[in-house]
């Protein structure tokens, strides 16, 4: 594997289009720890100045951000180098936040945030509120007596809600447990610990690749910070090992510009990529805690990612005051490799990186396919980046009984190649055998055996005939950033096949034929197409154009709900008819 110097690593990371105009590398490389802390205090100063203006008007909405508001105010009041150190006008602002939350609490101790009377959402706001509590209780100033009393009233009442309340999703268990651990550190209660242990007794799933149950980057960030809190406060070092495993996975899911691959998620982020900024405090903490030089380099890289000031830095002072480890210097950084090939067997995800060029293959949907939150159902089986030139995804659709998109039944490594595959069979149904017939004709409402539709036909007990089969195989190979995809689609003849390539909006294309004068829909009848963003280009071909069927690509699973998975971008269509053997090169 290629190992880069720290400067080369940062240069690779910064070369993608969104990061070109950042601070010079020499400045990044030599920023002293106290200089960074000074910038954290300055960011808090700016945040508090805005907060004081906002809090001059009545509070009307309960929102998670109020927890951070209190923490930022408490940090400013307690930090000697802050512009607002022990300033009297911060005290009524803190009291206002806490008084509003106490008044908004339901009798059972919960808040209405996103969901009604929600223990998990109350747990989310308590993360930052308990950080504020840690800072406030360490400050002996008499002026803080009232805000401390209000804080304790809210937290103790909320503690009963979290000690007895339920959850909706896997990560909620650890949100509630972390909140209870934090509350127990402030206001000890053995009942909090018993409830934490009750949730932990269910087991914390993290597979050998580093995936949590929801396979979501958004909720991995939640799990990492909550399991770290529980592990530290409840002396459970085994929980920290799970976080480390996940953070290693997160790095290999990171694109050169800091965006994270989420195609394998079971939650809403499978269609809405998130950013490495979510994991800043995790990498920072473990870089120091474990003396990990690669994570020190990642910590410094994340500071350069656009959005760091708004999404991270403005809230850091409270974290630094709560957890002393953050004030320690990072270990000497060592850049992690940017040349790797990783196969995540549990999710059938392949990640290949060659500097600023990356390839993603995915075949790990939850089958049978169900369109629902909590299940992986993305049809995006391939993605590719070459600097600022980005192919968001590639999809394959057929009109085989209106089944729509191809969803692979896993990925099988074969030497240097990866094979995606699926066999679909759609039958017609015969009359029910005599023993299953009903005089009134009122049969069970069941899904068809191919999962396409439901009817009161008791499909499971009907003999099948006129079976039709379609077998799809994609053999993918990569060499030095160049990809070759060999498609073989056979079985029923005359099936329309559509390959959809969606490039990121804002680029320029050439060698293509516009569909009906469109500026974002194109065919590639022959030759090679090109997509350009800035100085970076992706070339793909040869062309394939045998039909113009490019609508309703999602098929019945989506059309029956009047839905579509079409996204913003420049769409290029390659079309063929079965039996089809076709090789696409892209790089």
Helix, coil or strand: residue 292: coil
What is the C-alpha to C-alpha distance for residues 209 and 272, in angstroms, rounded to an integer? 22
Percentage of the chain surpassing pLDDT 90? 89
**Where does 287-434 show beta strands of DSSP type E?**
339-344, 349-354, 357-362, 382-386, 389-398, 404-405, 411-414, 417-429
The pLDDT assigned to 4 comes to: 44
Mean pLDDT along residues 215-220: 97
Tens digits of residue pLDDT in 257-281: 999 999 999 999 998 879 999 999 9
The pLDDT assigned to 33 comes to: 65
Q: Please choose, from the candidates 299, 303, 278, the residue with its C-alpha nearest in 3D space to the C-alpha of residue 290.
A: 299
Dihedral over Cα of 109, 113, 118, 121: its sign = negative
Q: Look at residue 203 and tell me whether its pLDDT is greater than 60.
A: yes
Tens digits of residue pLDDT in 10-30: 444 444 333 322 222 223 343
The pLDDT assigned to 370 comes to: 85
**Residues 6+ positions from 34 with CB-CB distance below 8 Å:** none
Q: What is the mean pLDDT of the chain?
A: 93
Question: 18 or 432, which is more confident?
Answer: 432
Token pair recorded at residue 408? 């692979």
pTM for this predicted structure: 0.93
State the Cα torsion 569-309-226-252 to the nearest 10°: 50
Query: 3-state SS of 333-358?
Result: CCCCCCEEEEEECCCCEEEEEECCEE
Q: Is 13 exposed, middle or buried (0-12, 13-18, 19+ CB in 10 A)?
A: buried
Residue 533: strand pairing partners: 536
């Amino acid at each position: 594997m290629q190992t880069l110097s720290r400067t080369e690593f940062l240069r690779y990371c910064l070369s993608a289009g969104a990061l070109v105009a950042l601070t010079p590398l020499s400045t990044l490389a030599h920023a002293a720890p106290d200089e960074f802390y000074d910038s954290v205090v300055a960011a808090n100063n700016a945040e508090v100045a805005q907060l004081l203006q906002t809090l001059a008007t009545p509070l009307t909405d309960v929102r998670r951000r109020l927890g951070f508001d209190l923490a930022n105010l408490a940090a400013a009041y307690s930090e000697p180098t802050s512009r607002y150190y022990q300033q009297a006008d911060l005290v009524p602002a803190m009291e206002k936040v806490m008084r509003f939350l106490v008044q908004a609490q339901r009798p059972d101790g919960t808040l209405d945030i996103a969901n009604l009377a929600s223990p998990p959402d109350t747990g989310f706001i308590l993360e930052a509120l308990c950080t504020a509590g840690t800072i406030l209780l360490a400050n002996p100033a008499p002026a803080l007596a009232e805000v401390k009393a209000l804080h304790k009233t809210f937290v103790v009442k909320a503690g009963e809600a979290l000690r007895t309340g339920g959850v909706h999703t896997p990560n909620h268990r650890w949100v509630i447990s972390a909140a209870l651990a934090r509350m127990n550190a402030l206001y000890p209660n053995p009942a909090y610990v018993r409830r934490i242990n009750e949730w932990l007794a269910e087991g914390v799933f993290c597979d050998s690749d580093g995936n949590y149950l929801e396979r979501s980057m958004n909720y991995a960030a939640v799990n990492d910070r909550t399991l770290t809190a529980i592990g530290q406060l409840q002396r459970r070092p085994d929980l920290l090992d799970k976080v480390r495993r996940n953070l290693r996975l997160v790095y290999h899911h990171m694109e050169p510009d800091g965006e994270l691959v989420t195609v394998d998620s079971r939650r809403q982020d499978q269609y809405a990529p998130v950013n490495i900024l979510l994991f800043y405090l995790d990498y920072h903490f473990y870089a120091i805690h474990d003396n990990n030089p690669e994570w020190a380099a990642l910590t410094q890289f994340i500071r350069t990612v656009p959005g760091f000031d708004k999404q991270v830095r403005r809230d850091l002072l409270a974290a630094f005051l709560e957890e002393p480890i953050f004030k320690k210097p990072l270990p000497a950084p060592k850049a992690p490799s940017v040349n790797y090939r990783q196969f995540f067997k549990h999710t059938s995800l392949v990640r290949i990186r060659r500097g600023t060029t990356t390839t993603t293959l995915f075949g790990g949907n939850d089958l049978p396919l169900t369109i629902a939150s909590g299940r992986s159902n993305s049809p995006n089986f391939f993605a590719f980046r070459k600097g600022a030139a980005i192919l968001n995804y590639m999809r394959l659709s057929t009109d085989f009984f209106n089944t729509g998109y191809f969803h692979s039944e896993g990925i099988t490594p074969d030497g240097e190649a990866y094979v995606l595959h699926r066999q679909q069979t759609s039958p017609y149904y015969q009359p029910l055998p005599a023993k299953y017939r009903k005089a009134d004709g009122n049969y069970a409402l069941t899904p068809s055996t191919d999962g396409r539709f439901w009817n009161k036909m008791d499909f499971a007990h009907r003999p099948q005939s006129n079976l039709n089969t379609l077998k799809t195989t994609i053999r993918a190979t990569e060499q030095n950033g160049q990809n070759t995809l060999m498609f073989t689609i056979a079985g029923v003849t005359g099936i329309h096949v559509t390959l959809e390539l969606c490039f990121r909006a804002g680029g320029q294309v050439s060698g293509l034929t516009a569909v009906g004068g469109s500026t974002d829909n194109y065919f590639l009848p022959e030759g090679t197409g090109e997509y350009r963003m800035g100085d970076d280009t992706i070339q793909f071909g040869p062309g394939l154009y045998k039909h113009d069927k490019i609508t309703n690509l999602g098929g019945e699973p989506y059309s029956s709900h009047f839905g579509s998975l079409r996204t913003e971008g420049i769409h290029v269509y390659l079309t063929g008819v079965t039996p089809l053997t076709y090789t696409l090169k892209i790089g």
